């Protein structure tokens, strides 16, 4: 046994010697599997059900390998909240198990720029626009802050008694901008963002989120400097969310909000230049000209999008262009490109299209790009013209700011191209709260991940829900991994047959779900669901998470519920998700209505979450342009979109929703499935077959509720 494998064994011995810790065979199996993959350099996927302790099961072998080899490891999870949990809870415990060697390992938490406060914005010209009392508090907070993130600032301001109304838009005003003067900024040495970047460059183990990993890959693919330097292994936790994160990283949106961000960043560049020119020799004429250029850009951009402001754009959106590159695997498992299919000829696509809008959108894009080119060329011309009026230090600082912002504007310029030439996806125009938005989205991300992520280093991908119908095939296709990749599916840890029950209302009690909220049978359906829900919530005395697939349905069911004064009902959208989650955990007899973000990643162990209600099977209805285009693509390939895409995704999401229920060995709970199609359609049994085996099924809530009253035998 090599030294680093011995170190894994010793670390587990120390872990299991801790008071109250119970050895988990599945955690040992997972750790040994990862160690073997590290030894052989093989990428692998692991399904580790809730309760395995996958964070420590992965960190222990990774730390041992890093200490022994000096290699660099990146650990990525879906959200900043989960990344901070790794950083503040899981990683310190794992390092402690390696004694002095663990304490010497260089580690770093890495998040995106906007997660850190900008000291220059607080102390510079932009800070003068803030409320004076608030600015004093910010300047008091800066030297006290450890990481300079919002989660540090918010409690500080609360302790100072600052009203929430004053802080509502504060973070946007002081967050690190997408570009800055970098090394030429007087606050560079103490800058929160660049301080973590410097620490990350020297770290052997980095904790971050999927967005940072994907942004790093995008930058490297474009030839730019990445956010994470080079690393030797990637651990992807919550890997089932990686395809969605990749889609978000690759998509692009043009809207009135995008224009405001564009003008805001141009104005921020103007402020950066003004800050750089502070001193005894300041060319005020240059500052005045640049401020005018920002105004010219603003007027030009708003004029460029005027045709979209005047267009009669329906709320459901209309496709303007599709040109996906179709990626298939060759016999050796490597992605290869096929010819473009004529998806615009698909009947469903034609019904959802307005190709006559393409020339309009092309004109908008060309005019915006022209404004961007003019803005930057004029700035460079003015800098050259006023060069003699600046010191060398001033000129270098200004040039650095201009170059830094050039990258952001260049990405915007490239994104605009995707709207009229969507080389790997679909573009469309739709109505939005601010008037309109033009969007691009890739239809598939697997080939991109294979080329720009998996080709760079081996990886371990893990989650509690990676398999569908007992195989990894669907997930592997989504993320662009060949079917020859190593896999491990660990058995359930909890005794679901004793810890939970499944309630299915009797056949005929609920009507089938309507096709839309506007269907003639929708009101009767909402009343029937509300009646069932009232019976469930009265039986469980609240303590329930109720999961919906659409906001319209969630609000309609809430409105149909009779008053239940003894229960506190909260609904997603009433306040921030983090605040709702905390209030739900603290108030035992409460009910939380949630959408997609509560189906996965939400954790509320104990009595406060004793019941999970899935109101409807989460089928994707092909109504949005990307959904319509994706279904057309699958038909072009000769596949049934429902069987190859819609049903597998629904199975996976039902598993994720079920996973909110049992989080600890002493948890007990009821899963309630209120969709009549579990009785009437063959796929109902298929979905149920993807839940843990042997869960007792009841058709009376009074019978199912007994699982909450019966103590668990040892």
> How far is the C-alpha of 281 from the C-alpha of 283, rounded, in Å?
7
The mean per-residue pLDDT over the stretch 113-129 comes to 86
653, 645 contact by CB (below 8 A): no
Q: Which tens digit of pLDDT belongs to each residue from 399-426?
A: 888 888 888 899 999 999 999 988 789 9
Given a cut of 60, whether residue 177 has pLDDT beyond it is yes
- 3-class secondary structure for 394-407? HHHHHHHHHHHHHH
Coil, strand or helix: which one is 674? coil
Q: Which tens digit of pLDDT belongs to each residue from 351-405?
A: 999 888 889 999 999 999 999 999 999 999 999 998 888 888 888 888 888 888 8
CA distances from 1 to 6, 39, 390, 423 (A): 6, 12, 65, 51
Given a cut of 80, whether residue 101 has pLDDT beyond it is yes
> How far is the C-alpha of 567 from the C-alpha of 533, rounded, in Å?
13
Q: Is 401 exposed, middle or buried (0-12, 13-18, 19+ CB in 10 A)?
A: buried
Radius of gyration in angstroms for the set of CA atoms belonging to the chain, rounded to a whole number: 27
Q: Which CATH class is domain 3-106+203-246+447-489?
A: alpha beta
Given CATH 3.40.50.300, say whether it is the number of domain 496-709.
Answer: yes
Q: What is the pLDDT of residue 449?
A: 96
Given a cut of 90, whether residue 480 has pLDDT beyond it is yes
- Give the pair of three-digit tokens for residue 601: 């990643």
> How far is the C-alpha of 83 from the C-alpha of 85, rounded, in Å?
5
The mean per-residue pLDDT over the stretch 303-327 comes to 78
- How remote is the C-alpha of 588 from its chain's centroid? 29
> How far is the C-alpha of 121 from the C-alpha of 181, rounded, in Å?
12
The mean per-residue pLDDT over the stretch 671-691 comes to 95
The mean per-residue pLDDT over the stretch 643-666 comes to 93
Phi first, then psi, for residue 27 (nearest 5°) are -65, -40
Nearest to residue 623, comparing CAs of 570, 550, 703, 682?
A: 550
- Decide which of 226 and 296 is more confident: 296
219, 407 contact by CB (below 8 A): no
Q: What is the pLDDT of residue 331?
A: 35
Given a cut of 50, whether residue 337 has pLDDT beyond it is no
**Out of 172-176, 322-326, 372-376, least confident range:** 322-326
Nearest to residue 418, comparing CAs of 314, 297, 324, 305?
A: 324
């Amino acid at each position: 046994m090599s030294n680093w494998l011995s170190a894994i064994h010793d670390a587990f011995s120390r872990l299991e010697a801790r008071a109250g810790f119970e050895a988990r065979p599945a955690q040992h199996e997972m750790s040994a599997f990862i160690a073997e993959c590290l030894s052989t350099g093989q990428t692998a996927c692991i399904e580790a059900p809730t309760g395995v302790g996958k964070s420590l099961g992965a960190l222990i072998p990774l730390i041992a390998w890093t200490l022994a080899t000096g290699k660099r490891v990146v650990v990525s999870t879906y959200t900043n909240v989960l990344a901070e949990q790794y950083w503040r809870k899981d990683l310190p415990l794992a390092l402690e198990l390696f004694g002095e060697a663990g304490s010497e390992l260089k580690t770093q938490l890495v998040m995106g720029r906007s997660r850190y406060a900008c000291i220059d914005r607080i102390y510079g010209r932009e800070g003068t626009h803030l409320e004076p009392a608030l600015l004093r508090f910010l300047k008091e907070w800066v030297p006290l802050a450890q990481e300079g993130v919002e989660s540090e600032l918010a409690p500080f301001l609360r302790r100072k008694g600052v009203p929430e109304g004053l802080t509502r838009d504060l973070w946007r005003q002081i967050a690190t901008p997408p570009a800055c003067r970098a090394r030429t900024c007087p606050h560079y040495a103490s800058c929160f963002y660049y301080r973590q970047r410097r620490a990350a460059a020297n770290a052997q183990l980095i904790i971050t989120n999927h967005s940072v990993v994907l942004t790093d890959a995008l930058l490297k693919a474009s030839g730019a400097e990445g956010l994470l330097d080079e690393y030797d292994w990637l651990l992807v936790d919550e890997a089932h969310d990686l395809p969605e994160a990749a889609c978000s990283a690759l998509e692009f949106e043009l809207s009135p909000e995008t224009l405001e961000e564009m003008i805001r960043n141009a104005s921020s560049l103007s402020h950066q230049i003004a800050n750089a020119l502070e001193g005894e020799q300041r060319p005020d004429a240059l500052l005045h000209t640049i401020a005018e250029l920002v105004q010219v850009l603003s007027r030009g951009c708003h004029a460029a999008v005027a045709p979209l402001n005047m267009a009669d754009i329906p709320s459901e959106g209309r496709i303007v262009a599709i040109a996906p590159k179709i990626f298939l695997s060759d016999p050796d498992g490597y992605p290869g490109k096929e010819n473009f299919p004529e998806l615009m000829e698909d009947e469903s696509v034609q019904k959802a299209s307005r190709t006559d809008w393409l020339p309009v959108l092309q004109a908008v894009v060309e005019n915006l790009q022209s404004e961007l080119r003019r803005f930057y060329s004029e700035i460079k011309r003015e800098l050259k013209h006023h060069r003699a009026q600046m010191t060398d230090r001033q000129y270098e600082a200004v040039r650095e700011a201009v170059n830094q912002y050039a990258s952001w504007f260049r990405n915007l310029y490239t994104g605009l191209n995707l709207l009229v030439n969507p080389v790997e996806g679909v573009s469309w125009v739709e109505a939005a709260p601010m008037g309109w938005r033009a969007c691009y989205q890739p239809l598939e991300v697997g080939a991109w991940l294979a080329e720009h992520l998996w080709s760079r280093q081996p990886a371990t991908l893990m989650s509690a829900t990676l398999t569908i119908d007992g195989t990894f095939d669907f997930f592997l296709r989504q993320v662009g991994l060949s079917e020859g990749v190593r896999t491990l599916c660990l058995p359930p840890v909890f005794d679901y047959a004793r810890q939970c029950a499944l309630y299915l209302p009797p056949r005929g009690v609920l009507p089938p779900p309507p096709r839309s909220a506007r269907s003639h049978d929708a009101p009767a359906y909402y009343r029937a669901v509300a009646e069932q829900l009232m019976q469930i919530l009265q039986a469980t005395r609240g303590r329930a998470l109720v999961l919906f697939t659409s906001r319209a349905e969630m609000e309609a069911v809430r409105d149909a519920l009779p008053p239940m004064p003894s229960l506190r009902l909260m609904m997603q959208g009433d306040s921030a998700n983090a605040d709702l989650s905390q209030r739900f955990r603290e108030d035992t007899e409460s009910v939380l209505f949630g959408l997609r973000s509560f189906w996965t990643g939400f954790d509320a162990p104990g009595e406060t979450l004793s019941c999970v209600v899935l109101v409807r099977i989460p089928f994707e209805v092909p109504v949005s342009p990307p959904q319509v285009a994706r279904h057309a693509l699958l038909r072009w390939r000769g596949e049934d979109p429902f069987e190859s895409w819609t049903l597998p995704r629904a199975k996976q999401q039902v598993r994720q929703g079920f996973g909110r229920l049992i989080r600890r060995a002493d948890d007990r709970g009821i899963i309630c499935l209120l969709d009549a199609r579990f009785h009437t359609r063959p796929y109902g049994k298929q979905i149920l077959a993807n839940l843990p085996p042997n869960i007792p099924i009841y058709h009376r809530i009074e019978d199912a509720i007994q699982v909450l009253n019966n103590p668990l035998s040892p």
